[in-house]
Structure 1
């Protein structure tokens, strides 16, 4: 009999109806939606709305009769919960679980206490939730029993079942309640139906296109009734098998951690982006379907100092950024990933809470689908990912929290558990240490680059009658300051000087020697016009240093009629002269490096440059660069490039040498490379 609706009840019914309709919309937009079930549920909602309109003002059902019925149902309910061999759930009007029997807890693979207090639909997969909520609402409103298919998210794997729902009144409760009975477990919808008289397959059938997740064992299915008798006992997992599965899961998780250590540390140079993506890729391959990593950027400015990271307990996440979203290949495509990448971890979301509290969180069965935020299109992130189980751990190095790692699973292979949480926590620690090292490394690299830049001229001077160009490229390995330097400067007697040198070794000590050599040559040249004499005086200044320097210097006499270069070599590769027709010749080499001996000798030569001739100086990093077979670039390859670009603009010539060098060694420069060139220009027309 229809019941009369009070005004407060009508408002509540309308609010509940709006919420369920929105869920149905979201379900229809999910990948591979069950449109038939959604349509049936929508028709039920229309029927409920019509019933509500028709029963406004209707007479209240006989209270005494209903009381007698409620008392009868209460006795039946008590008896059923004690003796029924099938899984039973007692729900309140809003589908919250009040009580379950042992068979229902066994069906879900958990304890009765864990299930109580949670939303019933949280234990069902996402595609059936919206329709199931509407069915439950129909049972409450109409009192008619309903039956539907449900996929429960069991501990080890989904369990397909048929549930029967009925409304009951219990004395002392102001609202009706719902009793849900799970019938015999059916074969998963994606698998073949068993033959007549044959028990269902022992193991679950994975969803299309998805293999069982490694390390998440899939034991034989236990029937929904929970009684291991007859065929059910044959399909139950023995204690020995269960122990083997637990041990296998533990070993697999240890393997995941070992693999993570190798992946995160297998880098000659720590790279934050590489480490983060490797971590996400490992987790999606071995543990779950979706991984989201949010990180704080390093604090800018000198106040942070080397290696100082943002993010610590009590700080806000104003700069917490989503850096990686990674899902399995069979998940929705780039649109889903893009939507999640644009979704910042806002207050109220699980990543925000974990970051600010530095406390890990495990949600084996997600009840609040807004747990990870709502995308720009209004759809919850959990719905887009199909996530029914979520965990989130902080990325912290023991001192500071710099982000979070979030794992989301569809429950296809059981919900995420404490073992998964432990692995994720350890990976969060590993990743934090690698990021800390990478940011320290990056900071030191920035300091090295700045220091290296101070050892080179910011720009080369413009000299009438000639063109000059220089190029420096740092080695790709290490972050220490290199020892290469070059410079062009005025000399005594209205001449010009150019020098290129290479200090033995790298680092701050080498940088100090580099600065002394470069500035010593530049300063002494203001009073000494002879390159040999300048180098001899610099040698005296470097004798107390523990490093030696090779260098080549040219003193240039430039006028309208000629350009003369006086070369002095101190143990450096010889200068090269390239004619405009591509003819190449070496200047003399030799001499003793600077800073080794008090008895210093230098090799000298005077060269007359014709119009179009190019004087080319270079460090030994050009000749010593090696390919994968450890063959050196060498003089012949260098001369080929110079000859091929003899008439090209001077900077283009140097760039061509650099490109050929990088191609030859596949980008793996083991030493710094520096080049300095001067070309005599044609006399201007009067």
Structure 2
């Protein structure tokens, strides 16, 4: 398989092509069945074309490429697409197949949660990774209302069979690839092809963060290149913990993905394999042994007139734990050749590593989500006479981030709010947030004034946060995480904007203080923006610091904007978002907007400030009198 991952073509092939010998197009609706329809369309179209010989390998590559791009457009974005296939002659590549996938609604919001009818797991696309891996040239063309991804697959370069398979012939016979190969030169050629296949498979599997994605990609890589069909089982929680059934057999596996070269056989094959799953003995000496184990041919999935074949199962294990089973089958064989079984065994190890990495990520993400829910309030309290809006986006999706927020009633007609930013991320930051937010609530409800609350929280951080953060870091290091720096525990600093709100006639009285935090801004009813506090030192830095407060009234229609430095220090090259009073200018442009619209406008401007995603957590709180 030819791989040119850095091809940059500016002019799409449709603008410099010679007369087209063959061209076919179709439209696909925005529903989960469209990837399957696209595969059938491409396979049928290429099979019936005459002229240049269209080889099985070219068909397979085209089907895989189109399937992935249509999946991305339809399943992920929910859009309708147009699909065009064309054979053309070019000066560079000779005869080539050009495919174009046009997204007719590229600006439609992405939606999730779609699952194809009749399948437990949705199809997931891998997009331009596969395009760059399969195509000699590719590009993206933008026109009004349309985004088109095109790719050119040369026919001439595919006149030789796929190197991982050996002698696959143009008419579909499997030739001698599935029988013994005696020619040393041929064997050397197969070995080189196997290395290419494994290298590209590793690239595609690397970085997948969902084990279902890994299983789906494994099936698409193996079928039909190395097998007629493939199935991937994943273990349940008992097997993940290294437990097993009686007599040393693995139990509790579920078929995560079943794939067949013929679309209409997938469901029958799935049912047959679910009724009679492979049961592999757990090796006593080497739990990660992944050698092929012959398993019965699933006759129930095929008619009486269909030939039987060979089926093999490979154990998927990593880190001493069973992860699942990979099963392949090829009709018309008594046994798979050694070069194919060896190649699939190596491929299975890569699949197992990818599944293990995905599960580790899932465990960490789950812990982070649970921790995040415990560190942040479940809802923002409603304040009489005010509307509020919050934007909270931790840099790492699911958190925990270093920013926190809170809005809560403090009793006696008082409501309090806080927006903070802890130095650092991860468990150490979580420890500080876990100290700061409950203490803010406790001190406020005990009747302490704004300045007094910050004074006491500052002393608490100086006394306790460093020791607690160090203990968390050491516990993480003991579990295999980053170790504590040799120079000892790092001090933990906290910037916070903390305030108290009391409804009064005609508005709300606000008393607040900023401890090392970006200053809050007030947007007046007249459209004028002013700072609402003065800068003071961070919490956790100076012993016995005395924090001063500012008190003012927010009248009807006035807006208070509080942000973390993820907003003010958002970078585009050397510029920051708040350079030249950029935040105040942005807020002035929000005159007349409600609190939710103010929050969304500021968020949009921050994201649009630079093409790259934000490098820091982002939090902003809008409080508006009514």
Change (3 A) 1:535 1:219: closer
CA deviations 1:301-323 (Å, max 9, x no partner) are xxx9xx74776675888853333
Q: TM-score, normalised by structure 1?
A: 0.54
Larger Rg: 1
- The answer to whether the 8 Å contact 1:217/1:249 transfers is yes
Change (3 A) 1:347 1:410: closer
Equivalent residue runs for 1:495-574 within 5 Å: 495-544=414-463, 545=466, 546-574=491-519
Q: 1 CA distance for matches of 2:539 and 2:422?
A: 9
- The answer to whether the 8 Å contact 2:292/2:313 transfers is yes
Aligned partner of 1:260 among 175, 181, 201: 201
CA RMSD in angstroms, aligned pairs only: 4.2
1:569, CA displacement in angstroms?
0.6
1:216 is aligned to 165
- The answer to whether the 8 Å contact 1:322/1:343 transfers is no
Change (3 A) 1:480 1:562: closer
Q: 1 CA distance for matches of 2:241 and 2:531?
A: 51
1:428 is aligned to 348
Change (3 A) 1:259 1:219: closer
Change (3 A) 1:359 1:458: closer
Q: 1 CA distance for matches of 2:345 and 2:309?
A: 20
The answer to whether structure 1 residue 374 and structure 2 residue 300 are counterparts is: yes
2:402 is aligned to 483
- The answer to whether the 8 Å contact 2:562/2:621 transfers is yes
SS of 1:352's partner is coil
Aligned partner of 1:323 among 256, 259, 275: 256
Q: 2 CA distance for matches of 1:668 and 1:573?
A: 21
The answer to whether structure 1 residue 445 and structure 2 residue 365 are counterparts is: yes
2:226 is aligned to 287
SS of 2:278's partner is helix
1:174 is aligned to none
1:393 is aligned to 314
- The answer to whether the 8 Å contact 1:471/1:675 transfers is yes
Higher strand share: 2
2:279 is aligned to 353
- The answer to whether the 8 Å contact 1:476/1:667 transfers is no
- The answer to whether the 8 Å contact 2:381/2:409 transfers is no
- The answer to whether the 8 Å contact 1:312/1:401 transfers is no
Aligned partner of 1:459 among 364, 379, 382: 379
Where in structure 2 are there 5+ consecutive unaligned residues? Answer: 1-42, 45-154, 170-179, 284-288, 467-490
- The answer to whether the 8 Å contact 1:577/1:584 transfers is yes
CA deviations 1:406-450 (Å, max 9, x no partner) are 2334679x9732232223223323322332332232122212211
1:403 is aligned to 324
1:611, CA displacement in angstroms?
0.4
| Number of corresponding residues | 430
Q: 1 CA distance for matches of 2:609 and 2:210?
A: 24
Change (3 A) 1:387 1:292: farther
Equivalent residue runs for 1:326-345 within 5 Å: 326=259, 331-333=261-263, 335-337=264-266, 340=269, 342-343=270-271, 345=273
- The answer to whether the 8 Å contact 2:163/2:189 transfers is no
Q: 2 CA distance for matches of 1:339 and 1:575?
A: 63
CA deviations 1:626-674 (Å, max 9, x no partner) are 57x7975557775676556554443354345445555667794443322
Change (3 A) 1:290 1:656: farther
- The answer to whether the 8 Å contact 1:554/1:568 transfers is yes
- The answer to whether the 8 Å contact 2:245/2:251 transfers is no
1:458, CA displacement in angstroms?
1.8
1:595, CA displacement in angstroms?
0.4
- The answer to whether the 8 Å contact 2:402/2:429 transfers is yes
Aligned partner of 1:576 among 501, 521, 545: 521
1:484, CA displacement in angstroms?
1.6
1:593, CA displacement in angstroms?
0.9
